[in-house]
Amino acid sequence: METSTETERVVFVTEDGVPTGETGPKLASHHAETRLHLAFSCYVLRHSDQALLITQRAGHKKVWPDVWTNSVCGHPAPDEALEDAVRRRATYELGLPVLTDLSCVLPKYRYRTPPYQGIVENEFCPVFVAWSEREPEPNPEEVGDWRWIPWSDYGQLLENSEANVSYWARDQFAQLRDRKPFSRL
């Protein structure tokens, strides 16, 4: 069951991604001096045409509104396995309860964003890839828009300096493009 943003907690971690035993309220923990915490990103691909599902964050979100990004991102709950968190958020945000071949492609990815409307993301954020043939049924509280696009078009979008895309999507792309399965797309 999905918790509300008022009760959701982030897990604080060391530079190596090891939980410290401390947690904080999700929204209150994101500010100009955000502590390093655990998160994840996931890229959902479609076998039939090798397309990538990209999403635009809902315009009313407090953090990174209207920004285009990879398929789904989120934070695991305390004591929740990352794979379980990916599946939970894919179901909640995208209406995709079944993801196949879920695997971690960047287990030690870490980033810190420049301030964006007073918020700094500071995350140890393993990156996953998964597959789905289903059409998403996005939750409007989370997703403003979505589309399936070829991987090459995604690269062009990210290389456009004027495109409204997330910092982490641009940063992850440089590390993903030469890794399987992305190097074959």
In degrees, rounded to 5, the angle at the alpha carbon of residue 162 between the alpha carbons of residues 94 and 114 is: 75
Helix, strand, or coil (residue 29): helix
Cα(61)–Cα(176) distance, integer angstroms? 27
Are 150 and 50 contacting, i.e. CB atoms less than 8 angstroms apart? yes
Show binding-site residues for Mn(2+): 30, 37, 75, 121, 123
Show binding-site residues for Mg(2+): 93
Show binding-site residues: 30, 37, 75, 93, 121, 123
Instruction: Count CA atoms within 13 Å of residue 52 on its CB side.
Output: 26
Q: What CATH code would you report for 9-179?
A: 3.90.79.10
Tens-of-pLDDT digits for all 185 residues of the chain?
455 455 789 999 999 999 999 999 998 898 889 999 999 999 999 999 999 999 999 999 888 899 999 999 999 999 999 999 999 999 999 999 888 999 999 999 999 999 988 889 999 999 999 999 999 999 999 999 999 999 999 999 999 999 999 999 999 999 999 999 998 88
Instruction: Please give the model's pTM, rounded to 2 decimal places.
Output: 0.93
Active site residues: 73, 123
Are 131 and 47 contacting, i.e. CB atoms less than 8 angstroms apart? yes
Domain boundaries, the chain: 9-179
Cα(71)–Cα(75) distance, integer angstroms? 14
